[in-house]
């Protein structure tokens, strides 16, 4: 992934009213790390998990190849070439808008 993927994602989230509260460490297996995001302080924070499983190591977030919303895995995004990136990012943001999370379990 290029730095512009992360920049675009962060900017697009901000334009939709989301704030990145924190960057959390990965799990040393398949997750490079996570962004804790929140739109309103009246709602729980959600997590964007960055996927970075490589041959024998876990890649840092800056080298992740995709991400998904932990609380609703239907919202996922793979970092792609510039030609297809805008549409993929748009679909991911739309999936965030329609994500459903069970308040009791925190997952869809």
- Tell me the mean pLDDT per 10 residues along the chain, length 108: 87 96 92 94 91 87 93 92 92 92 58
* 28 Cβ contact partners less than 8 Å away, ≥ 6 residues apart: 58
Supply the pLDDT for residue 4: 87
Supply the pLDDT for residue 75: 94
Supply the pLDDT for residue 80: 84
Distance CA 18, CA 13 (A): 5
Per DSSP, the residues of 48-62 read EEEE-B-SSSBPPGG
Supply the pLDDT for residue 103: 54
On the 0-12 / 13-18 / 19+ scale of CB atoms within 10 A, 8 is middle
Residue 92 domain flag: yes
Residue 53 domain flag: yes
Predicted TM-score (pTM) of the model is 0.89
Residue 107 domain flag: no
Supply the pLDDT for residue 57: 87
Residue 28 domain flag: yes
Q: 49 is in which domain, residue-wise? A: 3-96
Residue 101 domain flag: no
Domain count, the chain: 1
Residue 103 domain flag: no
Element (H, E) at 42: none
CA distances to 9, 27, 60, 75, 103 from 30, in Å: 20, 7, 10, 18, 26
Contact 99, 108 (CB under 8 A): yes
């Amino acid at each position: 992934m290029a730095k512009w993927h992360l920049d675009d994602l962060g900017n697009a989230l901000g334009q939709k009213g989301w704030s990145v509260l924190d960057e959390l460490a990965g799990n040393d297996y398949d997750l490079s790390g996570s962004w804790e995001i929140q739109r309103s302080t009246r709602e729980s924070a959600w997590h964007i998990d960055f996927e970075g499983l490589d041959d024998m190591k876990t890649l840092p977030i800056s080298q992740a190849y995709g991400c998904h919303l932990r609380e609703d895995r239907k919202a996922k995004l793979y970092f792609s070439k510039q030609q297809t990136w805008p549409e993929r990012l748009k679909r991911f943001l739309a999936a965030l808008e329609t994500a459903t999370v069970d308040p009791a379990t925190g997952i869809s």
